[in-house]
């Protein structure tokens, strides 16, 4: 039968496992999963330079390179778990391990009173996932195919949750614009943010129930290549790999963040651009590589789940938790972002919702998303915003 989403350049079969995997065979499969793994040599090099007090440029560059093979390995471990437990669980695990790093760094920054740093990082993470990651996934996955299909109902549900995330930022902006005094606006927005954060956490919990329990079939269906593949690793080894690799990513990400100030000064780069555009690309490298890899294998449900689930987790879980953490620490962390950033997010979610609501994707749609991200990146580069250091 002729399928529209079949590869135009021929079908490449997935890896097939012969016999029950052991811990030794699992380790061998992980090491040999990609020729790119040879760049893991940069991991100890980056750690050595970071702990030895090297210049910010060296620390930033080496840790940036070291995160790349780790992201690839994290994608392999995620795919193995997805084969054993379904694409939905695999995607959620991938997004969670990636975002735990951001949550920890966000809490640390909040304790130091760096509220704008946290807000910029949150905004940049959402934008990079729904525009950059989805864009490359649609482009590279569809370049050799007429189109690719995924669950329309699941995509529409994700669109609705993205819209709710945007609403949670638009309402505080409108509140600020219509308040009589600045003091009244500040107090009201803070109280509104605390209440909204609790609502968003409840919604996120219900969305997990929807994905993992009541409507799981909608998210697991449609990845036709899965039937030909068997896991190469044990479930225990895959989980252990995820924990260890995510821990290494967290260490390298921490050094990256610490080197930002020195890089901004030496490279004379716009600090807002670094916080909103560059840092999220590096911090979410694991999700980026995984989502694009699965799209190229025509596993679009898993690919979209990783990219969109990561954005939803940032908007519905990480951001509310950071607001509540600020409440606990006595820091005025709120859902009121800069007007410019709020408009950018609204426009981005709007175009993404238009493109994924039909349950199909192609390379041109990927190009549109990448073009949108490029325009936004240039806007943050030239925008005369205040620094985000404090």
Extract the residue ranges of the chain whose pLDDT is less than 50.
1-17, 224, 389-390
Query: What pLDDT was estimated at residue 243?
Result: 85
Query: What pLDDT was estimated at residue 196?
Result: 95
- The answer for residues whose C-beta is within 8 angstroms of residue 272's C-beta and 6 or more apart is 120, 380, 383, 385, 386, 387, 388
Q: pLDDT tens digit string along 79-103?
A: 787 777 766 676 677 667 667 667 7
Tokens coding 285: 């490298």
Distance in angstroms (rounded) separating the CA atoms of residues 379 and 186: 27
Q: pLDDT tens digit string along 346-376?
A: 999 999 988 888 888 999 999 999 999 999 9
> Burial level of 214, CB count in 10 A (0-12/13-18/19+)?
exposed
Residue with tokens 């998210």: 219
Helices (H), the chain: 23-31, 42-51, 56-85, 87-111, 115-127, 134-142, 152-178, 182-209, 216-220, 235-267, 271-273, 279-283, 285-296, 300-313, 319-329, 339-356, 363-382
- The answer for residues whose C-beta is within 8 angstroms of residue 114's C-beta and 6 or more apart is 388, 389, 390
Query: What pLDDT was estimated at residue 87?
Result: 63
């Amino acid at each position: 039968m002729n399928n529209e989403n079949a590869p135009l350049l021929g079908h490449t079969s997935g890896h097939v496992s012969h016999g029950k995997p052991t811990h030794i065979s699992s380790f061998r499969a992980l090491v040999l999963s990609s020729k790119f793994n040879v760049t893991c040599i940069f991991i100890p090099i980056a750690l050595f330079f970071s702990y030895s007090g090297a210049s910010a440029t060296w620390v930033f560059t080496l840790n940036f390179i070291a995160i790349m093979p780790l992201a690839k390995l994290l994608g392999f471990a995620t795919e193995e778990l997805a084969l054993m437990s379904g694409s939905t669980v695999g995607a959620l695990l991938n997004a969670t391990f990636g975002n735990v790093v951001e949550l920890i760094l966000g809490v640390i920054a909040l304790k130091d009173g760096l509220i704008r740093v946290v807000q910029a990082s949150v905004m940049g993470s959402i934008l990079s996932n729904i525009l950059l990651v989805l864009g490359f996934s649609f482009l590279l996955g569809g370049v050799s195919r007429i189109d690719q299909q995924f669950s329309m109902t699941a995509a529409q549900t994700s669109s609705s949750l993205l819209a709710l995330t945007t609403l949670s930022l638009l309402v505080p902006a409108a509140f600020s614009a219509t308040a009589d005094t600045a003091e009244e606006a500040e107090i009201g927005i803070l109280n509104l943010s605390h209440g909204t954060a609790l609502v968003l956490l409840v919604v996120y919990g219900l969305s997990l129930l929807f994905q993992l329990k009541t409507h799981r079939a909608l998210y697991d269906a449609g990845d036709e290549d899965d039937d030909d593949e068997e896991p190469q690793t044990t479930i225990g080894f895959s989980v252990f790999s995820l924990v260890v690799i995510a821990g290494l990513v967290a260490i390298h990400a921490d050094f990256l963040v610490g080197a930002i100030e020195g890089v901004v000064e030496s490279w004379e780069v716009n600090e807002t651009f670094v916080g909103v555009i560059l840092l999220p690309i590096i911090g979410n490298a694991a999700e980026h590589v995984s989502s694009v890899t699965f799209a190229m294998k025509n596993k679009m449900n898993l690919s979209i789940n990783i990219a969109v689930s990561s954005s939803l987790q940032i908007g519905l879980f990480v951001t509310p938790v950071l607001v509540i953490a600020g409440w606990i620490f006595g820091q005025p962390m709120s859902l009121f972002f800069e007007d410019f950033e709020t408009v950018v997010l609204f426009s981005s979610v709007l175009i993404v919702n238009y493109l994924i609501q039909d349950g199909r994707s192609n390379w041109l749609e990927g190009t549109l998303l990448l073009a949108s991200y490029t325009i936004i990146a240039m806007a943050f580069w030239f925008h005369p915003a205040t620094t985000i250091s404090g």
